[in-house]
Amino acid sequence: MKEYEREYPLFSLCGLNCGLCPRYHTGGDSKCPGCGGKDFHLKHPTCAVITCNEKHDRVEYCFQCTSFPCDRYRNLGNKDSFITYRNVIPDFVKAKREGLEQYQAELNEKIGILEFLIKNYNDGKRKNFYCLAVNLLPLKILRSIMNEMNQNIDKQGVPQKDKINRMKSLLEKEAARENIPLLLRK
């Protein structure tokens, strides 16, 4: 695939939240720059969605295409990759309804929360879990969890291991309350 660049690579052409993907938040050769980010074509030499877009309307997001929803989106399936596909349609609907600027602002806030979790509550084995939880949980709930941790846990001198376990527990509790399974679908 030739060079492919996009203005905002953190929300992909196909609707994935690249900024919440474990491969975006990793170091080394496997780091992905996001859809259309710097050297994207070197990490993803082929992409059926980009090829389709070039043959159709050449839009920034598939939901803007005159053929949307096409078969790809009517039959998303129930498998995930490094990142979940569960929110693709709801996120497209939200971006269309509220506008891309608003959606991107919310995604940027989620990315900030994720980066904070990875930096402050990761014991080396929670990054994928945090990526999934932040992607799937509503921003309002994430804000509430972060507020609770900031006010009630971080200021009490709780050992780091216990803080990590508490964060995981809070995310799981809220996901269960919302009936959101925090597992990638295989």
Contact between 119 and 167 (Cβ < 8 Å)? no
Domain residue ranges in the chain: 18-177
Q: How many percent of the chain have pLDDT more than 70?
A: 98
Contact between 10 and 34 (Cβ < 8 Å)? yes
List pLDDT tens digits, range 45-93. 889 999 999 999 999 999 999 999 999 999 888 899 889 999 999 999 9
Mean pLDDT of 136-160: 86
> What's residue 27's pLDDT?
87
User: 């509430």: which residue's tokens?
Assistant: 144
Mean pLDDT of the chain: 92
Contact between 106 and 97 (Cβ < 8 Å)? no
List pLDDT tens digits, range 16-33. 999 999 999 998 888 999
Provide the whole-model pTM: 0.93
Mean pLDDT of 111-124: 95
For 71-85, b where at least 16 C-beta lie within 10 A, e where not — what string? ebbeeeeeeeebbbb
Amino acid letter for position 78? N
